[in-house]
Amino acid sequence: MEAKYEREYSASVDPFTAWRLKERERGRAGMALHDRMLYAAGQAVATNSCVAPHVLLPVTLCRLSHCFGKTALPSSVSFKLT
């Protein structure tokens, strides 16, 4: 129990942690709106492992379908049943 409070106290008085958080916030404030939106979406996906497959799989399939036309496979790949 004491170790928990000791970690919290040392984190609160650590000047480098405060500086790092302030610099991160300053960097975010300098971003354009669309960059901040993408950053927030990336943070949500990165911090929640349950969300990642549900977001990345549809996005990947959508990108593949736009890259290769109406199918998700390139034209060089064909499956012939003979």
pLDDT in tens, the chain (82 residues): 677 777 777 767 778 888 888 899 999 999 999 999 999 888 887 887 777 777 778 888 887 777 665 555 556 655 555 5
- Please tell me the pTM assigned to this model: 0.44
User: CA nearest 15: which of 4, 26, 23?
Assistant: 23
- Residue ranges per domain, the chain? 2-49
